[in-house]
Amino acid sequence: MAAKDAAQKEKESQKEQIYYSDTYKDEMYEYRHVILPKEIAKKVTKGRLLPEHEWRHLGVQQSLGWVHFMIHEPEPHILLFRRSLKVSQQVQQQRAAAAAAAQAQQQQSAAAGGCPPGKPWVYCLIDPCTTSTCPGDKSATCTANYCGGCNAIWTSANGKPVKCSTCPSGQGVVQCFVDPCKDKTCPKHPDTKCVANYCGGYSSVKLGT
């Protein structure tokens, strides 16, 4: 068992000695060379290009798309690689998408973990604070809360909760994606003004001028 562990440590040590150059490019490809330590270089099949599974088996670690494309005759322990720029761009886009998805998942998990029992984390199409106002306290700060719904939590400068709703008891403020007054007219009373009402639902209320 000890001998096996020692051999594994030696193998890992050899992998750490592999040198990867910076990449350089032309109009079609990006290039890099990889220098193998002596012990790994002994395992390289001489006189032919290495397919991906072979150079990975040697311990060379690179992202997708790299191809061993040329044998460096004077120094066979130096492997020459290239990758199509189109493939490189695709790999970068995939990395960015994966990173964004991972970040979103982390934020969702963190938000879900901070919600109390019975109020699961809810995904909202928009930030709740973008459709909420606090006319009673202009200095209040809004914080989005996604536990059990799309909630806008208002707090004063000292961090205390502020009650901003002007709705009657039992009629909470409802978020609407469209202004209820949009495209509303009152032909019989053309001088009236439309005011949106978000209490318990969304509706429009006509007021005299």
**DSSP-H helix ranges across the chain:** 2-16, 38-41, 52-57, 85-113
pLDDT single digits (tens) 140-161: 888 888 888 888 888 887 778 8
Model confidence band, residue 200 (pLDDT cutoffs 50, 70, 90): low
Of 141, 84, 150, the C-alpha closest to 119 is 150
Determine the pLDDT at residue 209.
46
Sign of CA dihedral 143, 144, 147, 153: positive
Q: Residue 131 contacts by C-beta under 8 Å, 6 or more apart in sequence?
A: 152, 175, 176
CA distances from 40 to 10, 13, 51 (A): 11, 11, 16
pLDDT single digits (tens) 4-38: 778 788 888 889 999 999 999 999 999 999 999 99
Q: Is the pTM of this model over 0.85?
A: no
Determine the pLDDT at residue 109.
60
CA distances from 115 to 108, 132, 146 (A): 11, 21, 8
Determine the pLDDT at residue 173.
58
Mean pLDDT of 164-178: 60
88 three-class SS: helix
Tell me the domains of the chain and their CATH numbers. 23-113 (3.30.170.10), 116-164 (no CATH), 171-209 (no CATH)
